[in-house]
Structure 1
Amino acid sequence: MDKFNFFNDMQEKINQVLENSPVKDIEKNVKAMMGQGFSKLDLVTREEFDTQAQVLATTRAKLEALEAQVAALEAQMKKQA
């Protein structure tokens, strides 16, 4: 038996043991518990967060442009007065 077959057989046996062990059930239960816990929290998805971050950046840029316009208008009014 060469090393490659030995390691493949060993990996296959370990996978069979893990599939038939309670580890799979524990993993499923932990995932279910965590999913329930996260659903109770007020969380947003990454996509929603990125969208809102983009909206905020756009709004901030518009605000800065408007502030510059107001400052220019105020300076113009001071010159006229």
Structure 2
Amino acid sequence: MANPKILDEIGSKVSELLANSPAKDLEKNARALLASGFSKLDLVTREEFELQKEALTRYRDKLTELEHRVAQLEAELASRPPAEAG
């Protein structure tokens, strides 16, 4: 069985090599490039999306309620006798 101390040393050496390698720079550059690209797009966070979705649901419900109320008022108005000209 391998000595845990040796495994820790190997792990730390591998981490050190990766930290000093061009791969780390490549990762940083890729992240910067992606961040730059995303900043040019008109994106929103999931939280902002959910808030807007909830607001639109409330507005749709209110609009439906108002449409129903207008229909009731129009029906009331249509059922009244016409006013006499005078």
Structure 2 residue runs without a partner (length 5+): 82-86
Extract unaligned runs of 5+ from structure 1. none
Distance 1:37 1:52 in 2: 24
Structure 1, residues 4-42: CA drift from partner, whole Å, max 9, x if none?
715433332321221121111001000111111111222
* Paired AA for residue 16 in structure 2: Q
Q: How does 1:67-78 map to 2 (within 5 A)?
A: 67-78=67-78
Scaled by the length of structure 2, what TM-score is found?
0.72
Q: Give matches, 1:37-76, under 5 Å.
A: 37-76=37-76
Larger Rg over CA atoms: 2
Report the number of matched residues.
80
Structure number with the higher helix fraction is 1
Distance 1:74 1:12 in 2: 79
SS at match of 2:76: helix
